[in-house]
Structure 1
């Protein structure tokens, strides 16, 4: 587990480091502190973390530059900042949580629990997924997403307009961010249940999910019971 802290106040950085180490206990964890925006960006370029703890005000530099450059990066970000007025914008970039300063151990542990446990969602799931294409950042409303397909270490967003967008986060990471209306029906598929019509049973007891578009996606055997209980 590689964790990066970008925080310019040494006292707060050490506090974050200590609390994070306490949270993970005996689990092997490497925690690195960078005290400036530039050092943080250079570290990410050389050593992609599993989790980033990021302040937004870094000696006058804007921590949002990290989010803008790593917009769909394959790691989660938790903002730790006194700039609570920036929370809505931060969530638009797909951060896992926003911990306001001053913070205590319980609040930080709550955010870290969301990182390790996919079933623990933010209070209100994200409303947008952010993609970066040809150097431009775009926000895609999750209401426009029909389903998400795993594509190796990436994912494909399949949209109502028939287009597909590539996202750098894995299915597992996106599952942690998306609201409960998205269901993992298969190891390779996350579906917006509002776009589902019915479950179909094919010969050989193979299950599928018929979408409003007419497309049928596979349903894993272990997922069938849970999906059936959703009253599709």
Structure 2
């Protein structure tokens, strides 16, 4: 596991490094510290991390520049910052958690637990997903998402207006970010249940989910029972 810390205060950076190493224990983790915005950007460009711990104020530089460059990147980001007024904006960029400074081990471990446990949802009230297209950032209201389909190393956001947007995060990573109204119904599909119409039972014990658009998506056999209970 490759973990990157971008933090300009050496004392805090090493505290994050020590606590993160303690959290992962015997699990192999390479933890790299960058003390400036540019070093952090260079490190991300040379080797994508699995997890980024990011400060927002880096010697006067804005840590949001990292998020703007990597807005739909295939890794999770936890913000560790005293700028709590930026939390809502940070979640718009799709960060996993926002840990306010000063922080203790319990609060950092809570954020790291979210990283390793997809079932733990945030209570931040996330309303948007940010995508990057033609060098520009676009905010997608999650209420406009009908379903998300895995597409190789990318995912496809299928929207109510009939358009599609590509996202660099996997279904597993997006499932951690999105609220409980989004349900994993198949290894390749994550659905906004507000857009679901009914469950179909097809010959051969094959299941499908009919959407309000009329489209039908497959339901994995292991997902059928939980989905049925949620749609009662």
TM tier relative to shorter chain: over 0.9
TM-score (norm 2): 0.99
SS in 2 for 1:3: strand
Shift of 1:81: 0.3
Contact 1:200 1:210 in 2 (8 A): yes
What's the Cα RMSD here?
A: 0.6
Shift of 1:153: 1.2
Provide the residue aligned with 1:200 in structure 2. Answer: 200
- Where do 4+ consecutive residues of structure 1 move more than 3 Å? none
Provide the residue aligned with 2:151 in structure 1. Answer: 151
1:125 and 1:48 mapped to 2: Cα distance? Answer: 28
Contact 1:146 1:158 in 2 (8 A): yes
After TM superposition, list the pairs within 5 Å mapping 1:116-155 onto structure 2: 116-155=116-155
SS in 2 for 1:183: strand
Residue by residue over 1:117-167, the C-alpha shift from the partner in whole angstroms, topping out at 9 and shown as x without a partner, is: 000011134211100000000100000000000001110000000000000
- Any unmatched runs of 5+ in structure 1? none
Provide the residue aligned with 2:100 in structure 1. Answer: 100
- Any unmatched runs of 5+ in structure 2? none
Contact 1:208 1:219 in 2 (8 A): yes
Provide the residue aligned with 2:41 in structure 1. Answer: 41
TM-score (norm 1): 0.99
Shift of 1:83: 0.5
SS in 2 for 1:169: coil
Contact 2:19 2:105 in 1 (8 A): yes
Provide the residue aligned with 2:209 in structure 1. Answer: 209
After TM superposition, list the pairs within 5 Å mapping 1:1-232 onto structure 2: 1-232=1-232
Paired residues in the alignment total 232
